[in-house]
Structure 1
Amino acid sequence: MGALKPWHIAVLVVVLILLFGAKRLPDAARSLGRSLRIIKAETKSLADDDRDLAEKADAQAARQPLPPQNVQQQPYAAPQQPAAPPAVDPVQRVRDN
């Protein structure tokens, strides 16, 4: 089980030419090259996306909550409204006048 020798490659090329023909081999090689470029670009973009996600995760992990402030919180009280004038009965008002 040795490595590929030059005559192995020559036999492989002859078989490919016989199977596919001389006209179709350049087209097949061109298609294979395009496919490999597309695969390379996609794997690179996936790696870049993973790197971007890792950077975002690191940035979020670096966030720390603010320290508590020494302000005493009072229990909730409803806001006070200004005192309304005392209600006057209109009938009583007429009698007094």
Structure 2
Amino acid sequence: MPGPEGSIAKLNGAILARRTRDLAMSIIGTAGQAWDDGDPSSDVAARWSSFCISAAGMSIAGGTDEVQRNIIGERVLGLPREPDPFKGAPWQDIPRN
């Protein structure tokens, strides 16, 4: 989904994933982090644990939440771009670490 619609969907998906992760971890507790392979219920705990671990990456993959918010602000809300003191400056004149 190109354009600002994709940014809105991606940002909402990342927020929902974090909220779901927080709820799942409060329900599962420590069983979500340490499970016994011999326990029949461990499959459920393993799946939720995997989701909880990967939920943090959802806010990074495809552009961080901050980048998505900038896209929404500029393209949907019509807010001005962040000021760039080095706009138009040659690459060699831009300070780097």
TM bucket by the smaller chain? Answer: under 0.3
TM-score (norm 1): 0.28
Considering only CA atoms, is the larger Rg found in Structure 1 or Structure 2? 1
TM-score (norm 2): 0.28
